[in-house]
């Protein structure tokens, strides 16, 4: 039985998801709800181990299907061990990435097929889809420039992909929005950070907190 609320934050590299998640957690907590912040791949020890394999810069030979399957495996364990128990306990779970990332990155940008990746992930997650997804939309050149300027951020294998790959990721997310228009809300992440965060607060007030 599901009593909590599942929010995911999506976007390309350098979209500002970390800042968005911080504001969501603050807003949820301020309104009296218990929030759980987590990420994919990761969030629990087993999934973090898989994350280290996926994002290791030395694993450039990784096959696209291997990558997709590793993401799905990490997602299942994370869901079973952390997300589902929190939702069943009535908490608000805020997750940095979920199934939409696999559809955009592996399904579309890697060319594996969005339907094929969707099928693998539906096997992994069952019916546990997010209630609300905030998509931070930013042009790849802007996002990658932010990453280069942030000396505190560790560069991972996906950061090293070509600009063309990241442009395809953005195209993939546009297709995800078309697939799930009732769930995914786009935010222009190229605006001033303060403006972006205020818009996210408004989304929560209108689309989230009244449903908990």
Q: Which residues are annotated as a binding site for ATP?
A: 11-18
Q: 132 pairs with which residues across the strands? A: 7
Of 185, 99, 131, 104, residue with least CA distance to 7: 131
Report yes or no: 38 and 79 within 8 Å, Cβ to Cβ.
no
**Using CA atoms, how far apart are residues 44 and 42, in angstroms rounded to an integer?**
6
Coil, helix or strand for 211? helix
End-to-end alpha carbon distance in the chain: 14
Exposure letters 116-130 (e unless 16+ CB within 10 A, then b): ebbebbeebbeebbb
Cis peptide preceding 80, ω within 30 of 0: no
Q: Which residues are annotated as a binding site?
A: 11-18
């Amino acid at each position: 039985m599901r009593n909590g609320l599942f929010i995911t934050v999506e976007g390309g590299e350098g979209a500002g998801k970390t800042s968005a998640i911080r504001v969501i957690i603050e807003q949820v907590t301020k309104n009296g709800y218990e929030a759980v912040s987590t990420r994919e791949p990761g969030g629990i020890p087993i999934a973090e181990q898989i994350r280290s394999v996926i994002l290791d810069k030395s694993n450039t030979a990784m096959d696209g299907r291997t990558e997709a399957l590793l993401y799905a495996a990490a997602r299942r364990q994370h869901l079973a061990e952390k997300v589902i128990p929190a939702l069943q306990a009535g908490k608000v779970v805020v997750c940095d990435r979920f199934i939409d990332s696999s559809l955009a990155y592996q399904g579309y940008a890697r060319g594996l097929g969005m339907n094929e990746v969707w099928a693998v992930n539906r096997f992994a997650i069952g019916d546990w889809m997010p209630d609300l997804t905030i998509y931070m939309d930013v042009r790849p050149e802007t996002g990658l420039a932010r990453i280069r300027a942030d000396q505190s951020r560790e560069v991972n294998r996906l950061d090293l992909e070509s600009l063309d790959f990241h442009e395809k990721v953005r195209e993939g997310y546009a297709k995800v929005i078309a697939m799930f228009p009732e769930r995914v809300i786009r935010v222009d992440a190229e605006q001033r950070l303060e403006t972006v965060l205020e818009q996210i607060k408004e989304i929560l007030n209108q689309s989230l907190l009244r449903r908990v």
